Structures are given as C-alpha cells and as structure tokens.
Amino acid sequence: MSAAAATHRLFRMDEMETLRRDRRLDPQLIRQLRNGLLKKFEPDDVVRERFPASDAVQLHALKLFQRMDSEIDGATKLLFETDSGLLIESVILRIASGRTTLCVSSQIGCAAACDFCATGKMGIAKNLATEEILDQVVQAGQILRAENRRLSNIVFMGMGEPLHNEANVTEAIQLLTAPDHFARSPSTVLVSTVGVPAAMLRLANAFPRLNLALSLHSADQATRETIIPLGKKASLTQLHDTIQEIQTIQDREFMIEYLMLRGVNDSAEDAKRLIDWIGDLRVHVNLIPYNTIEASPHLQASPRPTIESFADLLKASGLKTTVRYSLGHDIEAACGQLIRQENRQRAMQARRAAAEGDSHVGFLDVRQVIDGLES
Ligand SMILES: C[S@@+](CC[C@H](N)C(=O)[O-])C[C@H]1O[C@@H](n2cnc3c(N)ncnc32)[C@H](O)[C@@H]1O
Ligand code: SF4
C-alpha cells in the first residue's frame, strides 16, 4: 500500500465521495465498508479485502501504542498515539453482567487543571479531532468483537473536558448516532463535564436522549474552587439552574459525580450541603473513590466507611445514590504515570522542534487557555 495514496479518511463523507467519483465505485461498496467497520467492527483485513480501492482509504486515525489488560478484573487500557505524537488513553470495562463500557478521551491534557486529576496536571491542552475520538470506539469495538462481545455504552470520561472541545465532540456524537455511520442510540452515550453551562444546554438541545453528568465534587463554592480552578467560571447556582433547564428539555435523570476526598468534602455537613443543593432536581448521585495521584500528595481518598456513611445520608434523604468502585486498579497507576511523563517529554520535543522552525504542531500551555475559556 502506498502511504501517500491512503489519504481518504473513512470518517469523512466528502473524502469518501471524492474517492467514489475518482475510482467510479458503486456507492454500495462505500456503504458496505462503513457498515463493516463502524457498525460491525469487523477486522481491518476483512473490510479491506471486500473494498476494491482499499489502498486509498485510511481506516484509522490513531496508532495503538500499548495495550494493558488488568490481571484482577475485566478492564483493558489502550494507549493511542495521535497525529501530534502525544498519547491518549481509552479504557474498556467488561462488567460481570456481560455489559461493556468504553471510556473515551476528548482532549490531550485539560485546561480545567483540577487538583485531583492526572490529566489536569499534564500542563498541556489539545483538542482531539472528531476522527480521533471516533477511532477509539472503532478499535475498542474490534477488540470486543474478537472476544464475541458487543460494545454496550460509551462514556466521555477519559482524558479532557469534552465541552472544551465542543464542536468535535458534538460531531462525534452526531456520527455515533447517525443511521449511516455507527447507528447507536444516544441513550447509550454519556458525556461527563466539569460544568460549562452554555455548552451543556446546547448538547441537551441537540441530543435530548443523551446522558449528561456533572462532576460536582463539592456543594460549597469555595471548596469546589480549591479543587476545580475552573469552578470560578460557573457558580453552583448557575450550574443548578442549568440542570433545571436541561430537565425541561430532556425527560431523563441527570448524573451528579462526587469525588470523595478525605477531609475536603466528605463530612456529614458536606452531605447536607449536597442534599440542599440538589433540592428537587431529578438526579442520580455517583460517589467516586479517589485514586491518588503523585502530583497531588496533599489529597487522600476518603476511607470506605466514610464513603458508606456519606452514601447512607444521601439515601436517607431519598436520593438515588451509588458508589463507583472502579475496575482496573492495577493498570491505573502504571498508565497514569507513563502517559503524563511521556506526553510532557513529547510536548517539550515538539516545542523545541517548533522553535527551530521545522514543526507545525501547536501546544497550548494550560495557563494560556484557562482564562480564555467560555463559562
Ligand atoms: C477524567 S474526567 C473527564 C470528563 C470531564 N472532564 C469531567 O471532569 O467530568 C472523568 C471523571 O473522572 C474523575 N476523576 C479525575 N481524577 C480522578 C482521580 N484521581 N480519581 C478518581 N476520579 C477522578 C473526574 O472528577 C470526573 O468525574
Ligand atoms: S475537567 Fe475532567 S479531565 Fe479536566 S482536569 Fe478536571 S477532572 Fe480532569
């Protein structure tokens, strides 16, 4: 295959249409190729074999760099290399019920710079292209198909803030739910955000059946701002009003994510504040045990009994509450460290190359972008 010729990206309708015209292909062949890869997740060689101009098609936007399978449960972490040379991660979760969830990344690094998050500590921010978001789904789908499993759910809970990459994330969801692309139900997709009110409303309007989650982590404004610097851009009152408005557009439960940090947000008083803040919103509270990160030695996970008592207080007030005991603990630490160090080195190399004038790759320092972000 000539690398120079493989310039027509499968995810791009316009490029595939050009190829169809240039090679005088039957439109049915393009549909078959798209269905094979995007709906059935067939292996590359199978779809290529059926397609006469396969030398000209780029099936993937990402290169699989490393695969890590948990030895204790059904989690697989996939590290992908992007065009910019930086790494991102996706996680496949195989749940005992037989269902599977894929956690996808939307950015490399994150300008929200949350104190508890390894991605926020990366110090760089770059949006993933639509096809880089979608190829995580394709490659994970192919892995699951090879195990006779189906991909049940997709959650935007990997690296990055999806609503800081709103255009590409919206386009990715459009294609994930388009009948002639992935043809998935919007109710099997969840977008988790740190809280960008205007974009949350746009997303709810565009996809009334899409699941949305807010990473709240504290119902006290000052506490929230200490752990989420971006919390200054959207007040708790504004976030509450936004969810209330979303619930007039979407007839579904909204998810509130609450990271349990010892001595920061895990007291009975914090639970009471959370209950008051929720008020009559129709929500599901998901308590998240904190995975410690090296870059924030001052933060610790709440002990399990504290999490259970906190959950009991919420449940006693009538709130639907669950605790997320995450899979893949053994691959978590190894990967978080690796990706952060690798990306810092790669970003530095790219900056040096750019300074010497032989690179067009642009990386933003998070301090440069955080003030410019829309609230
Ligand atoms: C990585 S974020 C990506 C989506 C989006 N940016 C957000 O904050 O909701 C997904 C979830 O992981 C949580 N998270 C981040 N760092 C964590 C850590 N060290 N331990 C446990 N959960 C963490 C976030 O708070 C958020 O609820
Ligand atoms: S917004 Fe999400 S991805 Fe970004 S730093 Fe905060 S937790 Fe991490």
Which positions of the chain have pLDDT values less than 70? 1-5, 333-338, 357-375
pLDDT, residue 360, reads 46
**Atom in ligand 1 nearest the alpha carbon of residue 336:** 19
Catalytic annotation present for 335? yes
Ligand 1 and 192: CB distance under 6 A: yes
pLDDT, residue 4, reads 43
Q: What is the CATH class of 63-342?
A: alpha beta
Please provide the distance, in angstroms rounded to a whole number, between the alpha carbons at the two ends of the chain. Answer: 47
Name the residue ranges covered by the structural domains of the chain: 8-58, 63-342
Give residue 20 CA to ligand 2 midpoint distance, Å.
41
Q: Which residues pair with 68 in a beta bridge?
A: 77
pLDDT, residue 344, reads 75
Ligand that comes closest to the CA of residue 110: 2
Buried b (16+ CB within 10 A) or exposed e, 72-95: ebebbbbbbbbebebbbbbbbbbe
Give residue 247 CA to ligand 2 midpoint distance, Å.
24
pLDDT, residue 198, reads 98
Residue 150 · residue 189 · CB < 8 Å: no
pLDDT, residue 335, reads 54
pLDDT, residue 375, reads 40
How many residues can be counted in the chain?
375
Residue 134 · residue 177 · CB < 8 Å: no
Structure tokens, 68: 């890590």
**Which residues have CB under 6 Å of ligand 2?**
110, 112-114, 117, 119-120, 160-161, 194, 215
Torsion (CA) 274, 279, 281, 283 in degrees, nearest 10: 30
Give residue 52 CA to ligand 2 midpoint distance, Å.
43
Ligand 1 and 106: CB distance under 6 A: no
Give residue 221 CA to ligand 2 midpoint distance, Å.
17
CA distance 175 to 179: 8
pLDDT, residue 125, reads 78
Catalytic annotation present for 103? no
Ligand 1 and 255: CB distance under 6 A: no
Which residue has 């098609």 as its token pair?
Answer: 57
CA distance 193 to 158: 11
CA R_g for the chain: 21
